[in-house]
Structure 1
Amino acid sequence: MIYTITVNPSIDYVLQLENLNTGEVNRTSSDVKLPGGKGINVSRILKALDIDSTALGFVGGATGSMFEELLAQHELKTAFTKVKEDTRINVKINAVAQSEETEINGAGPAISTAERQTFMDQLSNIGDGDIVIMAGSLCKNLDAKFYLDIAQTIQKQGAEFVIDTTGQALLDTLPLHPLVVKPNHHELADLFNVTFKNEQEIVTYARKLLDQGAKHALVSMAGDGALLVTKDKAYKANAPKGTVINSVGAGDSMIAGFAGTFMETKDPIESFHMGAACGSATAFSQDIAVKTKIDEVYKEISITEL
C-alpha cells in the first residue's frame, strides 16, 4: 500500500475574473472549490493509474467536513486524523485579462500534542512493502522535525518513504535512505549554494544526495526535461511538446508516477518514464491529469542514458 501524508490540506477556492482591482469590489465570472494539498495530488494521480493509496493528514471543523466531501468525489481512500481547529482555505484568483494569478494561503490549524500523537499512532499499521509519501507544508505549530519523526518511525517498521521538501528538512532525512527525492534544479543549486553551468554539474550534485543516503534523485528542469540519477548512472527524459496550462501539481504528479510504478515494477527507468509523463500531463491540464492524458504524453517521452 502507498500512504500519502498531507499534513496541512486545504480547500482551494479558485476564482476567475477579467481583472483584479485591489481596494474595490470585484465580481467573479466563475469559481470552483477543490480539495488541495500536495499529498492529495499524489493520491489523485495514483487513482488515475489504478494504484491503491490511503491519504493521511489532519482535518478539522466545518471546512474539514467540506474538504472530505470534495475529496469523496474522487473516490480516494482516506484515514484522516480529526483535529479541533478548522482546515484552511486557500484563495486563488485568476485575472484573465491581466494574465495574473494571485494566491492567498491560509496558515492552517494548530495541532495539539494529543492530536499529533493520534496521528503518529496511526503509522503503526504501516510496514514491509509499503511506501509513505510526505509532501507539502506543515501546520503552523509543527516544527521541521515532524517529517523526520515520521521517517524514523516507518523506517523501523520496514516501509520505504519519499519526501518532497527542500532545505535542511530534506537533508536531515537523507541518512534514513528515502526511496526518491525530487528537487528541481533551482532547489538543488540552493541546497549546495552553487550555480549550474550544464547538465553534468546537475548530475554531480544530485549524486551528492545519493552519497548522503537517498536511493534515487529526480531533478525536474521545467522546459528542459528531467533527470534521474542512480548510484551508477544518470538518465534524461525529454520535455514533451505541449502548452503549459497549470504547473501546480506537476511535481506531485511526477512523484506519484515514479513511486507507484516502482512499487509495482522495482524498475527505476520505467518509473522515471511514468513519472515524467504524469508530471507533464498535469502541466498540460487544467487540473490533475487523467489517465488518457498521461497515456498520450507517455508516448512522447523518451529516456536516454547520459
Structure 2
Amino acid sequence: MIYTVTFNPALDYVVHMSQDLAIGMTNRSDAEEIYFGGKGINVSNVLRELDLPTTALGFIAGFTGKALDEGVAASGITTDFIKLPEGNTRINVKIKAADETEINGQGPKIPDECQKALFKKLDQLKEGDTLVLAGSIPSSLPSDVYERILERLDGKGIRFVVDAIKDLLLNVLKYHPFLIKPNKQELGEMFGVTIDSDDDTVLYAKKLQEKGARNVLISMAGDGSLLVTEDGQILRQGVCKGKVKNSVGAGDSMVAGFIAGYEKSGGDYKVALNLGTACGGATAFSDGLAKKDLIDELYKTLN
C-alpha cells in the first residue's frame, strides 16, 4: 500500500478573472472551482488516476476539514485523517487573472496528542509499503517531525519518498529514502552554490546520495529533469510539449508518476522517469491535476 501524509491540507478556492485584479476595489470572478489540496493529497489523486490505491493520512479540523475528508473519499481515495479538536482546515485562495495571486491560510494548531495519534497509525505500516512525505511543516509541529517519523519506521522495509527542501530533507537522508525530488535551485541552496550545468547537477545529486539518498530526481522547470539512480544510471528527460495553464501540483504529479512507473514496470527507472514527466506535464497543461487520458497521450511522446 502507498500512504501519503499531508500535515496541513486545504480547500483550494480557485477564482478565474478575465480582468486584472484591482487592489482596494470590488472584483468579480468569471468562474470558480474548489479543489482538495495539499501535496500528499495531490500525490494520492494522481496515483488514483494511474490505478494505484493509496491511503491519505494527515490532519483535518472543523467544517472545512469534514468537507475535505468527504471530497477526497468521494474521489476514490481511502482516507484516514486525524480530526483535530479545534480550528478549521485552511482555505487557500488562488486568483488566476493576468497574473496568478495566492493567499494561503495558516491552518489549525496540531496538539501533541494528535501528533502521537499519527505516529500510531504510521506504526501499522509494514514491509513493502511506500510512505510519501511532502511539503512544509506547520508551525505547531516540531521542525524535525519528518526525521522523527523516518527514525521510528527505520528498518521495517518501508520505501520512503520525501519531497521537501533544505534541512527538512538533508536531516532525513541518513534513513536512506528511496526517492527525493529537489528542484535545481533547491539543490544549489542545500550546498550554497549555483547550479549552471548538467554536470553540476549530477555532481551535487551524487553528494546527496553520499549522504544517504538512494535515487535523486532533480526537476529543472523548462529544462526537464535529471535522475541519478542508486544503480549508477544518469537519465535525462526533457519536458512534454503543450501550453502551460497551471503551476499547482506539477511537482507532486511527477512524484506520483515516478512511483507508479517504478511499481508497474518492476523497477525500470526510465519508465518511472518518463511516467513522472508525463504526469507533471499533464497537470501543467490542465486546470487541475493530471487525468489519465492526457497522461497516456503525453507518455507516448517520450523516448
- Verify same fold: TM over 0.5: yes
> Which residue of 2 is the match for residue 86 of structure 1?
88
Q: Secondary structure at the match of 1:125?
A: coil
3-state secondary structure, aligned to 2:22: coil
Cα distance in 2 for partners of 1:155, 1:43 equals: 23
1:134 and 1:163 in contact (8 A); partners too: yes
Q: Distance in 2 between matches of 1:156 and 1:115?
A: 24
1:37 aligns with 2:24: no
Aligned match of 1:142: 141
Matched, 1:128 2:127: yes
Q: Percent identity?
A: 44
In the alignment, residue 300 of structure 1 is paired with which amino acid?
T
- Cα shift at 1:83: 0.5
Compute the RMSD of aligned alpha carbons.
1.2
Cross-structure match for 2:211: 212
> 2:246: which partner in 1?
246
AA at the equivalent of 2:175: L
Alignment check: 8 A CA contact 1:136 1:164 kept? yes
Q: How big is each residue's C-alpha offset from its partner over 1:126-181, in whole Å with a ceiling of 9 and x where there is no partner?
A: 01000000112222211220111111222243211111100011000001000011
Which residue of 2 is the match for residue 114 of structure 1?
113
How far apart are the structure 2 equivalents of 1:21 and 1:191?
38
Q: 2:10 maps to which residue?
A: 10
- 1:164 aligned partner: 163
SS at match of 1:90: strand
Aligned to 2:195: 196
Unaligned runs of 5+ in 1: none
Normalising by structure 2, we get a TM-score of 0.95
Say which is worse superposed, 133-142 or 105-114, in terms of deviation.
Answer: 133-142
Q: 2:217 touches 2:227 (CA, 8 Å); kept in 1?
A: yes
2:234 aligned partner, one-letter code:
A
What is the rounded CA distance, in whole Å, between the counterparts of 1:241 and 1:34 in structure 2?
A: 25
CA distance, structure 2, for counterparts of residue 233 and residue 268 of structure 1: 9
Partner of 1:258: 258
- Count of aligned pairs between the two proteins: 299
- What is the rounded CA distance, in whole Å, between the counterparts of 1:10 and 1:237 in structure 2? 32
CA apart distance, 1:107: 0.8
Is residue 2:179 matched to residue 1:180? yes
Q: Distance in 2 between matches of 1:77 and 1:244?
A: 30
**Aligned equivalents of 2:116 and 2:196: distance in 1?**
46
Alpha-carbon offset, residue 262 of structure 1: 2.1
> Separation in 2 of the partners of 1:301 and 1:144?
39
User: Quick one: distance in 2 between partners of 1:181 and 1:208?
Assistant: 13
Matches within 5 A, 1:96-111: 99-111=98-110
Secondary structure of the 2:162 match is strand
Supply the AA of the counterpart residue of 1:155.
D
Q: Quick one: distance in 1 between partners of 2:272 and 2:96?
A: 34
Greater mean alpha carbon deviation, residues 258-267 or residues 113-122: 258-267
Distance in 2 between the 1:198 and 1:138 partners? 31
Q: Structure 2 CA distance, aligned partners of 1:222 and 1:29?
A: 29
Classify the secondary structure of the residue corresponding to 2:154: helix
Q: Tell me if structure 1 keeps the 8 A contact 2:240–2:277.
A: no
* 1:128 counterpart SS class: coil
C-alpha displacement of 1:276 = 1.3
Q: Quote how far apart the aligned CAs of 1:223 are.
A: 1.2
Letter in 2 for 1:186: Q
Alignment check: 8 A CA contact 2:69 2:81 kept: no
Structure 1 residue 194: Cα displacement:
0.9
**1:293 aligned partner:** 294
Q: Distance in 2 between matches of 1:78 and 1:8?
A: 15
Give, in angstroms, the shift of residue 77 of structure 1.
0.8
Aligned-residue offset at 1:66: 1.3
CA–CA distance in structure 1, aligned partners of residues 2 and 184 of structure 2: 27
Query: What is the identity, as a one-letter code, of the residue corresponding to 1:88?
Result: R
Deviation per CA, 1:196-223, whole angstroms, max 9, x where unpaired?
2211111111111111111100011111
- Secondary structure at the aligned position of 2:51 is classed as coil
Would the aligned equivalents of 1:207 and 1:230 in 2 still touch at CA under 8 Å?
no
Once the two structures are superposed, what CA deviation does each residue of 1:207-262 show, in whole Å capped at 9, x if it has no partner?
11111111100011111111010242211012221111112111101111112232
